[in-house]
Structure 1
Amino acid sequence: MQDQAPKDWLEAELQDTLDEDVEIELEDAVLSQEIARIYRDTHPDQMPRADYFRELLRLQSELIKLQDWVAHHKEKVVVIFEGRDSAGKGGAIKRITQRLNPRVARVVALPAPSDREKTQWYFQRYVPHLPAGGEIVLFDRSWYNRAGVERVMGFASEEEVQQFFDDVPEFERMLVRSGIRLVKYWFSVTDEEQQMRFLMRIHDPLKQWKLSPMDLQSRIRWEDYTKAKEEMFERTNIPEAPWYIVPGNDKKRARLNCMAHLLTMIPYGPVPHEDVTLPDRVFNPDYEREVLPHDLYVPQRY
C-alpha cells in the first residue's frame, strides 16, 4: 500500500491536468445541435483530440523551458497578437500562458482609450506595459488598433493613421534596440469561417459576451478591414520586426503552429536549477489547532 500510494497520487494529478485541458476544450458544448452539425460538416479534417493534447502538452512543456530561460537571463519578450474578430487570438494566448508563471508571462488587453489618453502621444498608453528584464508580455491587440479598427471605424483621422505608419517602424526599431525581442502574429480566417464563428457565438450563451457592436460592424466592413490589413503589412513589415501570418480556420492547428513557431523565435536553452527538497514539518506537541466557526466555511454543495 505504501508503494502504491505515490503512484495513485501521480495518476490523479495527471488526470486533473488532462481534465483542465478538456474543460477548456469544451467550447461548443452548449451549441444547438444544428449549428454543431453544420460546423462539423464544414470542418471534416479535424485533428484527432489525442494527437492535439499530446502536442499541446509537449509544446507547453517547452514554453516552460523558454519562460525559465527568459527569467534566468533577464530577457525581454513582446508577442503581439492581431487579426480579425473571432480569428482565434484569445484561444492561442490562453494555451500559451496556461501553464506559465503569471509573474513572468502576462497578457495585456487594453480597453478603449480614455479621454485623457486620447490627448497623449499615441504609443504612450502601451509603453508602461512593456516588459522589464525576465518578463514576457503578450498583447491581445496592440498599437496596431490604429491601423485596423480605429481607421476602419473612423475613430482616427486619415492624418493620424498616416502619422502612425510613419512612426511605428521607428518605434519598433527602438524597442528592438533596447533589447526587446518583438514577435508579431496576424491570425487569418476566411470570410465564411468568421461568419460561422459569429453564428456560434450568437447561439452559445457562454460566448455571447464576446460579441460586441464593433464585432458586428466588422462583418459589414469586411472589405474595408482587408484593405487596411494589406496596407498595414506593406508599411509595417520591417526586417527588425516582421509579421507572421497564422492561418486560423482550424483552431487547434493554428494554436499548435503558433506555439511551435514562437519557440523557434527565441534561442532558449537549459538553465541551472537548484535541487528542491521538501523539508520536514516541525511538530510542536503544545500546539492545538483551534476550531473555527462553521459559518466561515463555504457551503459543501458538491
Structure 2
Amino acid sequence: MTISGLSSFEMDRVKQEIADSFDEELEMEIDESRLESMFQDMSDHPEQEQIDRRVYFRELFRLQHELVRLQDWVQHSRQKVLVIFEGRDSAGKGGAIKRITQRLNPRVCRVVALPAPTERERTQWYFQRYAAHLPAAGEIVLFDRSWYNRAGVERVMGFCTENEVEEFFRSVPEFERMLVRSGITVLKYWFSITDDEQQFRFQMRIHDPLKQWKLSPMDVESRRRWEDYTRAKEAMLERTHIPEAPWWVVEAVDKKRARLNCISHLLEQFPYADVPKDPVVLPDRVRYEDYTRHPVPREMYVPEKF
C-alpha cells in the first residue's frame, strides 16, 4: 500500500483522473489556438508578446483552486455575489467565464446569458427580467452581458430611444445601490480589446466552420459602428462607475493574461478562507444474496468505435 492506503494501481487511477481533468482545459486551449496557426501569414495581425503557456496553465490551475475555496466560503457564509461581464463582441468574456466556472459547482455558481427580450418583456420595467436571476444567499451569479445592453447594443443599434437611455443612466446607480444595500456584492468587468484585434478575431470566426455560429449579423454590423460603440462605452463607464459598484477594465488583447488577471482580481475582492468540513466516509455497499444482476442486451450499447 502507498499514500493514504491506496495501492499502486489505485494511485495510477488517481493520477489518470487528475490528468483527464487538466485535459479539459487543454482541449479548450487547443480549440482556440487551432485556427490561429492557419493565420500565421496574416500580415495585418498585430504581433504581441504572449504569456508563456507553462506559466498560464500553472497559474490558471492555482487560481481555479482558489475559486473552489471562494465557492465554499460563499456557500458557508451565505454571501450573495453578482459578477457582470461586458465588452465588445469577441472580447473574450465567454472564455473568462468558462475558466471561472470550469471546476465549480453549478448549483452554487451559475451563468446568466439572456436572449433578446420578448414582446412582453419589452413592456416590463427594464430591470425586471434581470432581477429574476439575481443571487440568493450562498450563490455566485455571472452575467454574460447584463442590463448594460441598454447603454451599448440597444443604444447603438437604435433599439431604444435616447430618452430611454437617459432614464437608464438615472436608474442604474440607484438600482445597483439597492442591490448592494440588500447584501449583494456587485462586480463589473469591461473586457477591452483594440480595433485591430477585433478585426482579426472576426476574421478567424468567418473562416472557422466550428465558430461561425458565434458571428451574428449584429456582430458584423458592430464592426462598422466601432466608433459608435466606443462613444457609448465611454458614456456608460462615466455615468455608471459608482463607489458601491465600480467598473474594472480588463486589458483583453492577450486572452490568457486577461483570464488570469480577471480571476485574480475577483478573488481579491473577498476575505474568503477555508471553511470547516465534515470528513466524508464512504459506507460499505449493501449486498443482497437474493439479487442477481441481469445482463443488458448488446443491441442497447453504444458501438465502441474508439
TM-score (norm 1): 0.96
Deviation of 1:280 (Å): 1.6
**Aligned residues of 2:45 and 2:200 also touching (Cα < 8 A):** no
Letter in 2 for 1:73: S
1:53 to 42, 53, 57: 57
The 3 A distance-change label for structure 1 pair 88 and 145 is same
Structure-2 separation of matches of 1:206 and 1:40: 23
1:96 aligned to 2:119?
Answer: no
Moved more, 228-237 or 284-293: 284-293
CA distance in 1, matches of 2:18, 2:38: 35
Q: Which deviates further from its counterpart, 48-57 or 157-166?
A: 48-57
Residue equivalent to 1:149: 153
> What CA distance in whole angstroms lies between the structure 2 residues aligned with 1:43 and 1:248?
14
Alpha-carbon deviation of 1:15? Answer: 1.3
CA-to-partner distance for each residue in 1:177-202, whole Å, 9 max, x for gaps? 00000000000000000000000111
Task: Tell me the number of residue pairs that the alignment of Structure 1 and Structure 2 aligns.
Answer: 302
Q: Distance in 1 between matches of 2:20 and 2:165?
A: 48
Matches of 1:37 and 1:18, distance apart in 2:
31
Equivalents in 1 of 2:185, 2:250: separation in Å? 19
Which residue does the alignment assign to 1:105?
109
Give the SS at the match of 1:183.
Answer: strand
Check conservation: 1:107, 1:138, Cα contact below 8 A.
yes
Letter in 1 for 2:235: E
Given the alignment of the two structures, is residue 226 of structure 1 paired with residue 233 of structure 2, yes or no? no
> What does residue 179 of structure 1 align with?
183
Q: Give, as a single letter, the amino acid of the residue that structure 1 aligns with 2:21.
A: T
- Give me the TM-score of the superposition, normalised by structure 2: 0.95
1:19 aligns with 2:23: yes
- For 2:203, which of 199, 220, 225 is the aligned residue? 199
Q: In the alignment, which residue of structure 1 is the partner of 2:132?
A: 128
Q: Structure 2 CA distance, aligned partners of 1:27 and 1:88?
A: 14
- Single out whichever of 46-55 and 132-141 deviates more from structure 2: 46-55
Q: Which amino acid aligns with 1:218?
A: S
Cα distance in 2 between the residues matched to 1:44 and 1:118: 43
Query: Over aligned residue pairs, what C-alpha RMSD do you find?
Result: 1.7
Q: Distance in 2 between matches of 1:28 and 1:76?
A: 33
Counterpart mapping for 1:39-50 below 5 A: 42-50=46-54
Tell me how far apart the structure 2 counterparts of residues 277 and 114 of structure 1 sit (CA, whole Å): 49
Matches within 5 A, 1:133-282: 133-282=137-286
Contact conserved, 1:28 with 1:36, CA < 8 A, in 2? Answer: no
Per-residue deviation, 1:41: 6.9
CA distances 1:192-237 after superposition (whole Å, capped 9, x unpaired): 0000000011111111110001101111000000000111011100
Contact 1:39-1:196 at 8 Å conserved across structures: no
Instruction: Give, in whole Å, the separation in 2 of the partners of 1:32 and 1:190.
Output: 17
Q: CA deviation at 1:31?
A: 2.3
Alignment deviations for residues 30-54 of structure 1 (CA, whole Å, 9 cap, x no partner): 5275414449973442212111111
Q: Distance in 2 between matches of 1:94 and 1:39?
A: 30
Gaps in structure 2 of 5+ consecutive residues: none
Deviates more, 1:128-137 or 1:41-50: 41-50
- Tell me the equivalent position of 2:83: 79
